[in-house]
């Protein structure tokens, strides 16, 4: 049987274009790729914050920051800043920074035992101080904030994210304009031979085995292929609607099912650019603020059971202030959960068509990146070996199920308890294994033995951060620390404080660095 070498992608949002460009970078002219997108059905229009792992995607495409960042109004993201999840006025950071260990115990455990200040994030990580001070992670000459952070010259190349996990933690991710990235990747892909068809898919035709034979477009007739990639967003036109793959909802655990978003132009030179995403808790959800070069992207993510669309929009406008007055709001309904399997027969869904777990912690683009890496790894041969599909489906399902747990911790852990939404957050159903983990984490901080046991992008130190920052579950330190010499730990806390101070004093501001990149 012929090896599948004709790929048809339906959908031209972030998922469609990331998939097209990655497949071209991986397989070049040995694979023919056609991407069909409608100019009548819009993209979701949000999705601007990433994981640090995204740099592997750009490296794979051989793109440098100087190439793509200015074209996408991109900025750096050193952390997520959580505001008001514990109580009004409180904030903490979830940074891209490895946590150190002293005498075999993580520094956060020592912090619980005898932290020098009230701020675990500032005591244990330098990034928290850099975020508070609005610093760039690079010096004006381009060098990275610390020499021991990853230097791309020494890095192993060609590893997938799951293979890379546990190696060096890269110190930042990016924010970018989703529409501009899709445009940039359109150029990248079409330059490398991707056929771009602007048209609407009106029908999807199956053969006698129930595999997709071809799609029918309005103006370009039939388009056939070997492998079809469903990037049609929440519609799930190929996988869910045509191939009837059921959708497994996560909404019992994660009730936020709506969002209202605004794109607000601001004078960044005057205001400065925070080097982080901000997630501010609200009465029925939370508001994201994503700083880009020239505007912010902001939106209220909420549960329709607790808040109406009008209330959410009003609250968001009040939060942003007068700059948002003339800006049109984008109301979005979200499908929370995942397809039971993302690959059936000769159809693979990537992006929102595969699954989505609300934007907290910005995992949507990470899911896409992970999916395309796995697709290359499990790419089918002429015999369409079912075990390859099964391997792919398990990897994709595990990533989403794991992230579901991580997000559930934010709500269960939040000390905030002042509205019906936040009260109910403490009693929402969670998977049994997670309920046990919540209990265990209160007496022993999360480690690789006690978090979701399959790769899902989040290391145990991310869980510790959310547990300590949200403040509701009140973990206690390991009893062994009372019997352990703490000389080295006092030195470590002092070293972090000194390093943070020196970095804040010497690094340029985030705005200054990005402005220099554009000259």
Ligand X SMILES: Cc1cc2nc3c(=O)[nH]c(=O)nc-3n(C[C@H](O)[C@H](O)[C@H](O)COP(=O)(O)OP(=O)(O)OC[C@H]3O[C@@H](n4cnc5c(N)ncnc54)[C@H](O)[C@@H]3O)c2cc1C
Residues forming the site for ligand X (CB under 6 A): 10-16, 36-38, 41, 43-44, 46-50, 178, 200-201, 231-233, 235, 237, 259, 299, 332, 334, 351-353, 359, 362, 364-366, 368
Question: Which of the residues 74 through 93 are near ligand 6CW (CB under 6 A)?
Answer: 79-80
Query: DSSP label at 480?
Result: G
In the bound complex, what is the minimum distance in angstroms from residue 255's beta carbon to ligand X?
Answer: 15
Which residues are known to be catalytic? 77
Angle (nearest 5°) at CA 473 between 468 and 479: 75
C-beta closer to ligand 6CW: residue 245 or 409: 409
85 contacts 414 by C-beta, under 8 angstroms: yes
Query: Residue 281's binding partner, choosing from ligand 6CW, ligand X, none, with beta-carbon cut-off 5 to 8 A by kind?
Result: none
Residue 232 contacts which entry, ligand 6CW, ligand X, none (Cβ below 5-8 A, type-dependent):
ligand X
Tell me if 451 contacts ligand 6CW by CB under 6 A: no
d(Cα 119, Cα 82) in Å, to the nearest integer? Answer: 13
Residue 310: other Cβ atoms inside 10 A: 10
CA proximity to 397, closest of 340, 482, 479, 472: 340
Closest contact distance (angstroms) between CB of 35 and ligand 6CW is 27
Please report, as residue ranges, which positions from 129 to 158 form the binding site for ligand 6CW (by CB under 6 A): none
Distance CA 514, CA 387 (A): 46
Binding segment toward ligand 6CW, per CB under 6 A, in 258-266, 308-316, 338-346, 457-465: 457-465
227 binds ligand 6CW (CB under 6 A): no
Which is it for the CA torsion 240, 241, 244, 247, positive or negative? positive
Strands 6-10 and 32-37: parallel
- Give the number of other Cβ atoms within 10 Å of residue 153's Cβ: 5
- The b/e string for 326-352 (b: 16+ C-beta within 10 A; e otherwise) is ebebeebebbbbbbebbbbbbbbbbbb
Helix (H), strand (E) at residue 204: strand 201-206
46: partner contacted, choices ligand 6CW, ligand X, none (Cβ within 5-8 A by kind): ligand X
Binding flag, residue 105, ligand 6CW (CB under 6 A): no
Nearer to ligand 6CW, 279 or 350 (CB): 279
Shortest distance, position 500 Cβ to ligand X, whole Å: 27
Sheet holding 347-349, edge to edge: 195-198, 32-37, 6-10, 227-230, 347-349, 343-344
Contact (CB, 8 A) for 350 and 375: yes
Applying CB under 6 A, does 462 fall inside the site for ligand 6CW? Answer: yes
Q: Which is nearer to ligand 6CW, 51 or 120 (CB)?
A: 51
Minimum separation from the CB atom of position 80 to ligand 6CW (A): 4
Q: Binding of ligand 6CW at residue 96 (CB under 6 A)?
A: yes
Residue 52 within binding range of ligand 6CW, rule CB under 6 A: yes
Q: Applying CB under 6 A, does 51 fall inside the site for ligand 6CW? A: yes
User: For ligand 6CW, which residue of 458, 466, 500, 503 counts as binding (CB under 6 A)?
Assistant: 458
Distance from C-alpha of 386 to C-alpha of 297, rounded to nearest angstrom: 42
Q: How many residues bind ligand 6CW (CB under 6 A)?
A: 14
Question: Could you list the residues that contact ligand 6CW (CB under 6 A)?
Answer: 51-53, 79-80, 94, 96, 169, 173, 361, 457-459, 462
């Amino acid at each position: 049987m012929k090896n599948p070498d004709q790929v048809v992608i339906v959908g031209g949002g972030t998922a469609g274009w990331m998939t097209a460009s990655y497949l071209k970078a991986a397989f070049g002219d040995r694979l023919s790729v056609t991407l069909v997108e409608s100019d009548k059905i819009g993209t979701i229009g949000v999705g601007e914050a990433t994981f640090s792992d995204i740099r592997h995607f750009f490296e794979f495409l051989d793109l440098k920051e100087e190439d793509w960042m200015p074209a996408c109004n991109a900025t750096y993201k050193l952390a997520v800043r959580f505001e008001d999840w514990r109580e009004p006025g409180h904030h903490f950071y979830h940074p891209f920074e490895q946590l150190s260990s002293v005498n075999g115990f993580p520094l956060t455990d020592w912090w619980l035992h005898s932290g020098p200040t009230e701020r675990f994030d500032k005591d244990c990580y330098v990034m928290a101080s850099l975020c508070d001070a609005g610093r760039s992670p690079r010096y004006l000459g381009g060098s990275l904030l610390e020499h021991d952070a990853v230097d791309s010259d020494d890095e192993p190349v060609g590893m997938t994210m799951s293979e890379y996990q546990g190696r060096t933690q890269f110190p930042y991710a990016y924010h970018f304009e989703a529409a501009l990235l899709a445009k940039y990747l359109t150029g990248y892909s079409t330059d490398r031979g991707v056929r771009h068809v602007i048209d609407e898919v009106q029908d999807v035709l199956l053969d006698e085995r129930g595999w997709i034979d071809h799609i029918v477009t309005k103006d370009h007739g039939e388009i056939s292929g070997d492998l079809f990639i469903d990037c049609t967003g929440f519609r799930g036109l190929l996988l869910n609607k045509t191939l009837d793959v059921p959708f497994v909802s996560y909404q019992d655990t994660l009730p936020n099912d709506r969002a209202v978003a605004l794109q607000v132009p601001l004078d960044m030179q005057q205001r400065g650019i925070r080097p982080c995403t901000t997630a501010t808790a609200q009465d029925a959800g939370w508001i994201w603020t994503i700083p880009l070069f020239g505007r912010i992207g902001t939106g209220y993510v909420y549960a329709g059971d607790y808040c109406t669309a009008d209330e959410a929009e009003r609250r968001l406008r009040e939060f942003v202030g007068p700059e948002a007055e003339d800006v049109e709001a984008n109301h979005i309904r979200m499908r929370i959960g995942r397809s039971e399997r993302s690959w059936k027969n000769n159809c693979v869904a990537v992006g929102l068509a595969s699954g989505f777990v609300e934007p907290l912690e910005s995992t949507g683009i990470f899911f896409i990146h992970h999916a395309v890496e796995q697709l290359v790894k499990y790419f089918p041969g002429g015999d369409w070996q079912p075990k390859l599909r099964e391997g792919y489906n398990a990897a994709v399902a595990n990533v989403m199920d794991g992230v579901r747990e991580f997000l559930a911790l934010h709500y269960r852990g939040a000390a905030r308890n002042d509205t019906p939404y936040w009260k109910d957050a403490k009693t929402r159903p969670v998977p049994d294994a997670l309920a046990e983990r919540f209990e265990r984490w209160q007496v022993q901080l999360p480690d690789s033995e006690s978090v979701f046991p399959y790769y899902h992008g989040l290391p145990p130190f991310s869980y510790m951060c959310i547990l300590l920052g949200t403040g509701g579950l009140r973990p206690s330190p390991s009893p062994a620390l009372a019997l352990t010499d703490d000389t080295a730990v006092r030195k470590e806390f002092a070293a972090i404080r000194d390093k943070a101070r020196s970095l804040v004093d010497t690094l340029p501001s985030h705005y200054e660095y990005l402005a220099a990149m554009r000259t």
